């Protein structure tokens, strides 16, 4: 078996793309999207018709409504290619507004359900701010499952688990980027700081019995992926999926619930004050969270400009 086939024995593989052809090629169970991936996809000739149709179907309506229709259109197409779930992201500009995030999550789920898709097949992606986590807590109680994104720290992970979030997406590659920029060193393998962060979160969840799924995300190389074999899920870009498919060397399971049980990690009782202080103490997490929100906002604005030009 190639490495991709081997990895699927230990971990649920998710495609991190808005490209339907890539999803079809690598047969993942789930797929994730974000504003940057959607923006990238609609600039391709083969997907521009989805943007044009969304604009046409929402004639006379707001640009916000057009974007929602576009997100759902991509989600529906992706769901035709996979057996599992699609993640659809809320507007990053709502990251510090609990009520607006809840309203947007409800709206997106209602649109999927109107199209005949059950809410069990959709994850609403929300930034892992304190306000976003509170929104997820409300949505989860309504049976709307959430994927907590832009997650860089154990404090964020604990708060998400205590809120009952379905899934978290810790960003391995962006953590690696920060340490590489600060130290000038490239750290590979088990010592990679992004890998270590996800291992710690996974261990904490399994040791203390949290049901929230851990999905490593934002990978820079296959080494990071293979070091997390055994994690609940891993969302991987098409280029790295191809590298795994092209390699036949043997991989081994690196994470397991059994190993986590013997960890010496201590339980943390999270509240808003502890969350904000611990996040503030973690320069990497603070900077990358803010940077990630800004980047997604920028790409959403670019998408709005494309839509405005077509209206």
Give 49-69 pLDDT, tens digit per residue: 999 999 999 999 999 999 999
Using one digit for the tens of pLDDT, what is the confidence trace for 169-182? 999 999 999 999 99
Mean pLDDT of 142-152: 98
Mean pLDDT of 188-212: 97
Using one digit for the tens of pLDDT, what is the confidence trace for 75-116? 999 999 999 999 999 999 999 999 999 999 999 999 999 999
Q: What is the pLDDT of residue 24?
A: 94
What is the CB neighbour count within 10 angstroms for residue 226?
A: 20
Q: Which residue has the tokens 């991987």?
A: 236
Per the DSSP assignment, residues forming a β-bridge with 171 are: 217
On average, the pLDDT of the chain sits at: 97
Q: Identify which of 221, 167, 213, 212 has the alpha carbon closest to the alpha carbon of residue 194.
A: 221
The values of phi and psi at residue 136, to 5°, are -60, -40
Q: Which residues 6+ apart lie within 8 Å of 214 measured at CB?
A: 157, 167, 168, 170, 198, 201, 202, 205, 231, 232, 233
Active site residue 56: no
Give buried/exposed letters for 68-105 (b at 16+ CB in 10 A, else e): bbbbbbbbbbbbebbeebbbbbbbbebbebbebbbebb
pLDDT > 90 in the chain, percent: 98
Helix (H, G, I), strand (E, B) or coil at 132: helix
The answer to whether residues 71 and 38 touch, using CB atoms and an 8 Å cutoff, is: yes
Catalytic residue among 104, 125, 207, 288: 125
Using one digit for the tens of pLDDT, what is the confidence trace for 231-261? 999 999 999 999 999 999 999 999 999 999 9
Q: What is the pLDDT of residue 35?
A: 87
Confidence band, pLDDT 50/70/90 cuts, at residue 288:
very high
Confidence band, pLDDT 50/70/90 cuts, at residue 311:
confident
Is the pLDDT at 144 greater than 90? The verdict is yes
């Amino acid at each position: 078996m190639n490495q991709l086939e081997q990895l699927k024995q230990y971990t649920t593989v998710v495609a991190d793309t808005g490209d339907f052809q890539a999803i079809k090629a690598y047969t993942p169970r789930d797929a994730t999207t974000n504003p940057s991936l959607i923006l990238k996809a609609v600039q391709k000739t083969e997907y521009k018709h989805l943007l044009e149709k969304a604009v046409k179907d929402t004639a006379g309506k707001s640009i916000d409504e057009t974007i929602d229709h576009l997100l759902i259109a991509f989600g529906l197409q992706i769901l035709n290619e996979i057996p599992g779930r699609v993640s659809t992201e809320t507007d990053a500009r709502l990251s510090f507004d609990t009520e607006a995030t809840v309203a947007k999550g409800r709206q997106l789920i209602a649109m999927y359900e109107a199209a005949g898709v059950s809410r069990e097949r959709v994850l609403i992606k929300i930034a892992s701010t304190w306000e976003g986590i509170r929104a997820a807590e409300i949505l989860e109680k309504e049976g709307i499952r959430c994927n907590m994104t832009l997650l860089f720290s154990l404090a964020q992970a604990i708060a998400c688990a205590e809120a009952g979030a379905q899934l978290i997406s810790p960003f391995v590659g962006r953590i690696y980027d920060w340490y590489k920029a600060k130290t000038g060193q490239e750290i590979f393998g088990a010592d990679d700081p992004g890998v270590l962060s996800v291992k710690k979160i996974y261990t904490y969840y399994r040791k203390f019995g949290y049901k929230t799924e851990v999905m490593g995300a934002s990978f820079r190389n296959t080494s990071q992926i293979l070091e997390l074999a055994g994690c609940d899920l891993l969302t991987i870009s098409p280029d790295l999926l191809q590298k795994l498919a092209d390699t036949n060397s043997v991989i081994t399971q690196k994470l397991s619930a059994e190993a986590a049980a013997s960890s010496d990690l201590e339980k943390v009782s999270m509240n808003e004050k502890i969350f904000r202080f611990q996040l503030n103490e973690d320069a990497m997490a603070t900077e990358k969270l803010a940077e990630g929100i800004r980047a997604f906002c920028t790409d959403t604005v670019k998408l709005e400009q494309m839509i405005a030009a077509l209206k």
